[in-house]
Structure 1
């Protein structure tokens, strides 16, 4: 290995390490602040305490917002799994013009600012006279979660041999049963990985939710923002730390059930 190659490798590792530190330090700071006994964001903490975690149960509005966020995330992810699978099958197996355009259109929300999508959806719902915030949030979060499902399932389907379904049908299964018995087990890693990313994206969504919530339907990110504007204290850090813990738990479960290396193949 030449000196130039060694310097290039050292530069790559240095830049990679710097990026990791840049991304991880805010997380460690948030967790550290959540265990602080100080009523302000003080680092290093003067002393350690669990007071902000204990205070979560008494904070008004957080538990209903958390429940609403979980409901919206589960429903939108479930709908996106169905729609994303059907769309991916149509794009991969179908023989009709415009397949590429459909695929690009479905994943386009990933390339657009969330504020643009939120304003557009709000104006659309107002034009048709629909003002139910709960349903509007579900529609908005389906738009957010569908690209994760569609892109991952489409990549998995491109490697799937559809003759296996035909073989299952020759053995007496109907087409829907053949899909359930043959296709769904093969796609389970894609479902799990895309579903987890979609769920977390929905739980963390703010740009679209802010345009669709009302006084009775506030997701957790919106409630956190309002609390931060009125009374900023380490309770926000405690909530953020719990969300970080949720992400870690999801990754551990995924690794146990499927394996992170297999999931990243999609």
Structure 2
């Protein structure tokens, strides 16, 4: 390795390390503040305490919002998995004009600002006469989670050998059984990966959910913003820390079930 190559390699590692530190520093600060004893955001903290986690456990308004977010994320993820898998199969196996346009259109919510999507869906739902809060939230979250499923399953299907289904049918299996026993296990990593990212995207969504919630139905991100506006104490840091821990646990589960390298490939 020449001197120039060594310098370039060192520069790449330095930039990568600086980027990681830049991205992780706010998370580290949030975790540290959540264990502080001060009633305000202070670092370094005058003392260490679990008072904000205890306050979070005693909060009566927080847990209904958590339950709403979990139920909404689970339901929208299941719907997105079903629709996204069918759409990916149809797009890959189908031969029709404009197929590439449809693929791009289905993943377009990942490219557009959430505020733009929220306003567009709000106007569309009003024009359709849809005023039910839960139905509006589920449909809106399906729109933002569907791209994760379509993109991941479509990539996995492009690597799947469909002749295996024909081989299974020649061995006596019906077409549905051949799909269930051959294709579904092969695509299980794609379903797990896309489901995890879709669930996290739904749990963390604020700019779209704000258009469809009301005073009785609020998701966790909206409730967190309300805490920041009304009582900005470190309890919000404790909630954020638990959300960070939840995301880490999801990634660990994904690593156990699929593997991080395979998840990255998908």
Q: Note the C-alpha offset of 1:76.
A: 0.6
In structure 1, list runs of 5 or more residues that go unmatched. none
**CA–CA distance in 1 between the matches of 2:98 and 2:135?**
30
For 1:151, what is the secondary structure of its paired residue? helix
- More off after superposition, 166-175 vs 58-67: 166-175
Q: Which runs of 5+ in 2 are unaligned?
A: none
TM-score by length of 2: 0.98
Matched, 1:27 2:27: yes
- 1:16 equivalent in structure 2: 16
Q: Which residues of 2 match residues 1-266 of structure 1 at below 5 A? A: 1-266=1-266
- 3-state SS of the aligned residue for 1:39? coil
| 2:150 aligned counterpart, secondary structure | helix
TM-score (norm 1): 0.98
CA deviations on 1:126-167 (whole Å, 9 max, x unpaired) are 111111111111111111110011001000000000011112
Distance in 2 (CA, whole Å) between partners of 1:118 and 1:48 is 41
What's the CA shift for 1:262? 2.1
1:97 shift after superposition = 1.4
Write the distance in 2 (CA, Å) between the matches of 1:36 and 1:248.
22
**Residues of 2 paired with 1:136 and 1:239: CA distance?**
26
